[in-house]
Amino acid sequence: MSAFSLSGRTALVTGANTGIGQAIAEALARAGARVICAGRRSSAETVRRITEAGGRAEEVQVDLSDPMAAVPLFEGAGIDVLVNNAGIIRRADSTDFTEADWDAVMDVNLKAVFFTSQAFAREVLARGGTGKIVNIASLLSFQGGIRVPSYTASKHGVAGLTKLLANEWTARGITVNAIAPGYIATNNTEALRDDPVRAQEILGRIPAGRWGRAEDIAESAVYLAAPASDYVSGAVLNVDGGWLAR
């Protein structure tokens, strides 16, 4: 069997209804996984695309603005791979940023990542299995950005949490890694791409000469979910067209 095969594995992807999450769900299914597509909105389109391509998928609606919302999904479900992709962003000058916007972003982007991972790990360890966690970090796990204080704080937190959980769980059979996407053409970056000045500033710094595609992230997620990465844990993999090397 290929080291990149996910045949016989079950994966849960949060935020699988669109963008990067949808692309990851489709890529995991192509690699042979049965994929549970979780999202605040319906993931029916993602499930349709997977099943029409011959894969196996189902959907479940879960709103991670409640950080504990995904916990019940794991008991007895036999999930082997968890991709913590769901995330939100709020933009405002730091002098104007509200507590409500701070809490909303931190709840989804960081608190839910921890408690979803905890529920996954508890179930995997209870059955004596092995598992893979793939978190979606950001370039702003390393940089400050502007006008996104809670997003930046949350993604720094995701990078740190990835390393901590790897320290605790790798020896017990669960690897924990993260992907830090560069500037990807998704809903979250629509405001940036619609700003001609910012869009050109960003594009001018990317050595690859283009905005990333969701599919650029998806195949990296397959690697971190597959046996090929069994000796990789605690890593934050930059998939950014060379941005951080600039």
CA distance readout (Å), 25 to 48, 52, 106, 148: 12, 14, 24, 27
- Output the six-digit token pair for 132: 């893979």
Cα separation of 221 and 179, whole Å?
Answer: 7
Q: Which residue in the block uniquely carries the two structure tokens 């196996």?
A: 56
Distance of CA 237 to the CA centre of its chain: 12
Active site residue 223: no
The active-site residue out of 151, 183, 223, 231 is 151
Give residue for tokens 């502007």: 146
Among 19, 10, 2, 7, which residue's Cα sits nearest to residue 189?
19
Task: Find, among 205, 220, 212, the residue nearest to 186 by Cα.
Answer: 212
**Distance (Å, whole) CA 207 – CA 229:** 26
Read off the tokens for 215.
């599919």
Q: How many whole angstroms separate alpha carbon 172 and alpha carbon 121? A: 10
* Cβ(31)–Cβ(56) below 8 Å: no
For 220, half-sphere exposure in the C-beta direction (CA atoms, 13 angstrom radius) is 24
Query: What is the rounded CA–CA span in Å between residue 176 and residue 170?
Result: 7
Which residues are tagged catalytic?
151
